[in-house]
Amino acid sequence: MSTLNAKEWMDQVIKQDEIDKYLIDGKDFIDDTKIKEKLNVNRCSDREYIRSIIKKSLSITTLTPDETATLLNLEDEEMWKELHAAAYEIKRRVYDNRIVFFAPLYCSNLCVNSCRYCGFRKDNEDEVRRILSMEEVEKEAEGILDSGNKRVIAVFGEHPTSDIDYICDSLKAIYKAKKPAPRSGKESYIRRVNVNAAPLSTDDLKKLMDVGIGTYQVFQETYNKEMYKYMHPAGIKSDYRWRLYALHRAMDAGIDDVAIGALFGLYDWKYEMMGLLYHAIDLENRYGIGPHTISVPRLNVAAGSSVSSDSEYLMSDEDFKKLVTIIRLSVPYTGLIVTARETPEVRESLIGSGYTQMDASSKIGIGAYSKHSDAQEKEEQQFLLGDTRTLDECVYSLAQNGIITSFCTAGYRCGRTGDKIMGLLKNCVEGKFCKLNAVLTYKEYLDDYASDKTRELGEKLIEKEMKAIREMPFYKEKNLLTTFEQYYERISQGESDIYI
């Protein structure tokens, strides 16, 4: 924990030279006039042109801002059906028929910022403030392990008490947590910790790299500079560019799995989509690697925040579905996260739009996994969750839709990150490894955690997958089939955490 007081600490967080070095002629990559112009002029609805864009997406190539703006302006309902179908086809080609699960772990809700939409903002006096000790962080991770989750995103407010040393210690505590699995008693542990925290300096990001961060996630919230200023009237977060280049600094620090997002509902969703695309393109151009994931958090009601309920830009479910589809088409290689901010109905309805990650059994109160009454939890939540289903309920519902739940963390642990994973994703090879690891981790979950009903359905799905795997030439050609069958047998005999 920093020994500086809040003001002294805030004054030293932003390193101006770590913003300026990325600017070109003093400018960043979000050009308000250009975005508005692109949205204004690209209104072609010629079906053949739209189909040529779809074809490009299907070849797993990032779309241009003009092409994306064209899709954003499309009103032809018949063509929208083709877009939705193409989005799912891309998801299938790149990521196969699986969805990866994670759980959020909120470590602290102290914050020096005043984001108008967030329950943690400094001036929300109703918020009960809490920062977990390392023992408590470990206990929280154990609570998450009880649900069967293996992947965590650790979330932090921005405050001297939760500075980089605290964040690093939290990651160590999460990795340290161990819990016997309910049926077999096998030791389970968190296999990947991602981080959602305020923008950090390159030196601090190197520390995160050293403690084994998975993905570093920072949402720009809104790419529109004027709205950004309004939404972030004070605190460190009022510096738009410090945030805009957070992930560039991460890349420079060696963290090559970075995650972007915007908080949908703060401003026009079409503008935000263009912002996300320009962000992805700038990362691709500079580092040869785009975002590992794009998140689409939608504004939810937060205690004491009027913006969170009366923003004029709150998005309809229909537009939200279009957004998810367009992200899938515009940045075809990226992972796409739809969180439990959404209701079960919305998440179910979006399965066909091609998202690749979701959370379940999520609790977002500080310390909520280990103890706490529901009432206490609500006082310490950042916003209200839309989907409070258990992991087992989500796994069951996905199985009904023929989707495998994956707990795979192999890519990151085998060094398939950054440009290596990007290449594999763009060539539709990563999904093939993932298919095998998804089946292995699914089997582990079904044997150890699933309810009888989920296990029964899941086993049937595995049988179907095994058949498909045995028939695919790729696995035979690459000599993966025999290894996979052996690993599957070992998992069935009680081993765990073996991957390809």
**Interacting residue ranges for ligand SAM, rule: CB under 6 A:** 117-118, 120, 155, 157-158, 196-198, 218-219, 221, 263, 297, 299-300, 302, 308, 341, 382-383
Q: Is 127 in the site for ligand SF4 (CB under 6 A)?
A: no
Q: Give the residue with the Cβ less far from ligand SF4, 123 or 187.
A: 123
| Tally of CB atoms within 10 A around 99 | 25
| Shortest reach from residue 249's CB to ligand SAM, in Å | 14
Site for ligand SF4 (CB under 6 A): which residue of 38, 84, 121, 279? Answer: 121
CB 152 within 8 A of CB 174: yes
Residue 353 near which of ligand SAM, ligand SF4, none (CB within 5-8 Å, type-dependent): none
Q: Is 362 in the site for ligand SF4 (CB under 6 A)?
A: no
- φ/ψ region of 254 (left if φ > 0, alpha if ψ in -120 to 50, else beta) reads left
Chain-centroid distance of CA 411 in Å reads 16
Q: Mark the segment that binds ligand SF4 (CB under 6 A) among 77-85, 111-119, 279-287, 404-412.
A: 111-119
Q: Give the residue with the Cβ less far from ligand SAM, 120 or 484.
A: 120
| Shortest reach from residue 109's CB to ligand SAM, in Å | 8
Q: Give the residue with the Cβ less far from ligand SF4, 149 or 381.
A: 381
Q: Is 462 in the site for ligand SF4 (CB under 6 A)?
A: no
Q: Give the residue with the Cβ less far from ligand SF4, 120 or 445.
A: 120
Q: Is 308 in the site for ligand SF4 (CB under 6 A)?
A: no
Site for ligand SF4 (CB under 6 A): which residue of 72, 100, 115, 428? Answer: 115
Residue 155 near which of ligand SF4, ligand SAM, none (CB within 5-8 Å, type-dependent): ligand SAM
Residue 263 near which of ligand SAM, ligand SF4, none (CB within 5-8 Å, type-dependent): ligand SAM
| Shortest reach from residue 382's CB to ligand SF4, in Å | 6
Q: Give the residue with the Cβ less far from ligand SAM, 118 or 141.
A: 118
| Shortest reach from residue 262's CB to ligand SAM, in Å | 8
Q: Is 297 in the site for ligand SF4 (CB under 6 A)?
A: no
Site for ligand SF4 (CB under 6 A): which residue of 157, 265, 297, 367? Answer: 157
| Shortest reach from residue 255's CB to ligand SF4, in Å | 19
- φ/ψ region of 221 (left if φ > 0, alpha if ψ in -120 to 50, else beta) reads left
| Shortest reach from residue 165's CB to ligand SAM, in Å | 17
3-class DSSP string for the chain = CCCCCHHHHHHHHCCCHHHHCCCECCECCCCHHHHHHHHHHCCCCCHHHHHHHHHHHHCCCCCCHHHHHHHHHCCCHHHHHHHHHHHHHHHHHHHCCEEEEEEEEEEECCCCCCCCCCCCCCCCCCCCCCECCHHHHHHHHHHHHHHCCCEEEEEECCCHHHCHHHHHHHHHHHHHCCEECCCCCCEECCCEEEEECCCCCHHHHHHHHHCCEEEEECCCECCCHHHHHHHCCCCHHHCHHHHHCHHHHHHHCCCCCEEEEECECCCCHHHHHHHHHHHHHHHHHHHCCCCCEEECCECCCCCCCCHHHHCCCCCCHHHHHHHHHHHHHHCCCCEEECCCCCCHHHHHHCHHHCCCEEECCCCCCCCCCCCCCHHHHHHCCCCCCCCCCCHHHHHHHHHHCCCEEECCCHHHHCCCCHHHHHHHHHCCCHHHHHHHHHHHHHHHHHHHCCCHHHHHHHHHHHHHHHHHHHHCHHHHHCCHHHHHHHHHHHHHCCCCCCCC
| Shortest reach from residue 156's CB to ligand SAM, in Å | 6
Q: Give the residue with the Cβ less far from ligand SAM, 271 or 383.
A: 383
Q: Is 118 in the site for ligand SF4 (CB under 6 A)?
A: yes
Q: Is 237 in the site for ligand SF4 (CB under 6 A)?
A: yes
Residue 121 near which of ligand SAM, ligand SF4, none (CB within 5-8 Å, type-dependent): ligand SF4
Residue 424 near which of ligand SF4, ligand SAM, none (CB within 5-8 Å, type-dependent): none
CB 130 within 8 A of CB 367: yes
| Shortest reach from residue 124's CB to ligand SAM, in Å | 11
Q: Give the residue with the Cβ less far from ligand SAM, 120 or 396.
A: 120
Note the residues at the interface with ligand SF4 (CB under 6 A): 111, 113, 115, 118, 120-121, 157-158, 198, 237
